[in-house]
Amino acid sequence: MNLRKSEINGIKFWHRPGYSDLKTFEEVIGRKTYLKRGMTIVPGDRWLDAGANVGAFALQAASLGAEVVSYEPDPICCELIERNLKLNNLKADIRQAALVPDDRKFVRLFIGNNGNVWRNSIVKQWNKESIKVPCLNFDNEAKGFSAAKIDIEGAEMPILEATKKLFQKMVYEWSFDIDPSLTRLWKLLERQKSQYRVEAAWNSIRFHDREFTEWQKNGSRLVLTYSVTRNPMPQPAHKPTTEYRRMVEAMSAYGIPHDDISLVVGIDRNTLVKHYRQELDQASAKANAKVAERLYSRAIDGDVKAMMFWLERRGGDAWKNKPVVQLIPGDFTIEMNPANFLELPSISDFDDDQD
């Protein structure tokens, strides 16, 4: 096999002169076609790479710390994937098989024209050249994967229409030179939008008005890349309970800020106010009433300091702690005699050890 070695963005690879290999690496690693509109590859991802071709996506994902399993029906491409992984000291599982939505065991892989092996397809017969390749059921293989890249030249269409597997994120291509039906695409997108956030990497907004039912070839791209990510799971509505109400009232009585109460209960501030308005409003008054009740009982039982504290604050001006003011004629000097002050207790004087 005649091979040349190149490098893009720090990733080295072997490619065959006269084939589409180099264009594949330029598109995937150079232009980052699969990483558009917020699509990311992060450590901890487990990617199903459907249509691995010569390994460009496998190298990209593995270099970013993700786990990858590559499915590629062309045995020569599988050999190149293995060589390119070793060249970069990266690892990925390689499975030489085409993915299908049914139980077929073998299909014909039609080879792309003029060395364009990145267009190899089990759906579109480009010419008379083909090879027999093994098949695996997509949904059976997809178990355990959190993400998928599906670029299998028309075969993604029946798979995406039939699959019951939901990924956290997925990127796929839709080939309009294999099936130009926009109606078919719209039907799939409408179903996906109930489960995913769907975005096209390239602008196709002019077809959203449904004016056309088939892809218009006048200068438009023949292939669109779609990025989809799971919609966040709806959170169950908060249900106030007796325990929560007691907790909120107690924390509010202690003077804990609403934001901190929300954090403890596990809801946002708006939800806290919506469901616990009464507890928040009444907690301070109830707490003051309990303290006043205790102080009053101590005063009634003969606690002199409690009596003084109560009367100074509740008994009116006659019981206020007033300084003695003496005016000295002649120089208008004001003298304040601390010895004549009435010493009142502080709140710390009322400890539980007193009788």
Q: How would you write 226-250 as a 3-class SS string?
A: EEEEECCCCCCCCCCCHHHHHHHHH
Q: Are residues 49 and 133 in the same domain?
A: yes
The answer to whether the beta carbons of residues 158 and 178 sit under 8 Å apart is no
Asked if residue 349 is part of any domain, the answer here is no
What does each C-alpha distance from 124 to 111, 138, 175, 213, 224 come to in angstroms? 9, 19, 10, 21, 17
- Give the pLDDT confidence of 270-279 residue by residue, as tens digits: 888 889 999 8
Q: Identify the H or E element spanning 108.
A: strand 106-110
Strands 4-8 and 11-15 come out as antiparallel
Amino acid in the structure at residue 74: D
- Give the pLDDT confidence of 46-88 residue by residue, as tens digits: 999 999 999 999 999 999 999 999 999 999 999 999 999 999 9
Q: Which of 230-239, 300-309, 315-324 has the lowest mean pLDDT?
A: 315-324
Q: Indicate the Cα dihedral angle 304, 308, 311, 312, nearest 10°.
A: 180
Q: Are residues 116 and 56 in the same domain?
A: yes
Task: Tell whether the model's pLDDT for residue 262 goes beyond 90.
Answer: no
Average pLDDT over residues 11-32: 96
The answer to whether the beta carbons of residues 61 and 45 sit under 8 Å apart is yes
Asked if residue 254 is part of any domain, the answer here is yes
Looking at 199, 230, 261, which one is the last position of a domain? 230
Task: Tell whether the model's pLDDT for residue 183 goes beyond 60.
Answer: yes
Asked if residue 323 is part of any domain, the answer here is no
Q: Are residues 240 and 208 in the same domain?
A: no
User: What pTM, to 2 d.p., does this model score?
Assistant: 0.64
Task: Tell whether the model's pLDDT for residue 24 goes beyond 60.
Answer: yes
Asked if residue 127 is part of any domain, the answer here is yes
The answer to whether the beta carbons of residues 314 and 306 sit under 8 Å apart is no
Q: Is residue 216 very low, low, confident or very high in pLDDT (cuts 50, 70, 90)? A: low
Asked if residue 342 is part of any domain, the answer here is no
Q: What are the structure tokens assigned to 210, written together?
A: 């449904």
Q: Are residues 220 and 256 in the same domain?
A: no
Looking at 257, 275, 301, which one is the last position of a domain? 301
Q: What is the pLDDT of residue 230?
A: 78
Q: What is the pLDDT of residue 196?
A: 85
Of 19, 59, 33, nearest to 223 (Cα)?
33
Proportion of the chain above pLDDT 90, given as a percent: 46
Q: Are residues 14 and 136 in the same domain?
A: yes
- Give the pLDDT confidence of 137-167 residue by residue, as tens digits: 999 999 999 999 999 999 999 999 999 999 9
Task: Tell whether the model's pLDDT for residue 341 goes beyond 50.
Answer: no
Q: Are residues 208 and 266 in the same domain?
A: no
Task: Tell whether the model's pLDDT for residue 323 goes beyond 60.
Answer: no
Q: In what order do the strands lie in the sheet with 93-95?
A: 93-95, 67-71, 46-50, 147-150, 169-175, 223-230, 196-200
Stated length of the chain:
355
The range of the structural domain enclosing residue 195 comes to 4-230
* Rounded Cα–Cα distance for residues 50 and 47 (Å): 9
Greatest Cα pair distance, the chain, in angstroms, is 126
Q: Which residue has the higher pLDDT, 231 or 331?
A: 231
What does each C-alpha distance from 188 to 11, 105, 181, 196, 258 come to in angstroms? 35, 26, 11, 12, 45
The answer to whether the beta carbons of residues 148 and 71 sit under 8 Å apart is no
What CATH number did the domain enclosing 114 receive?
3.40.50.150
Q: Is residue 348 very low, low, confident or very high in pLDDT (cuts 50, 70, 90)? A: low
Task: Tell whether the model's pLDDT for residue 302 goes beyond 70.
Answer: yes
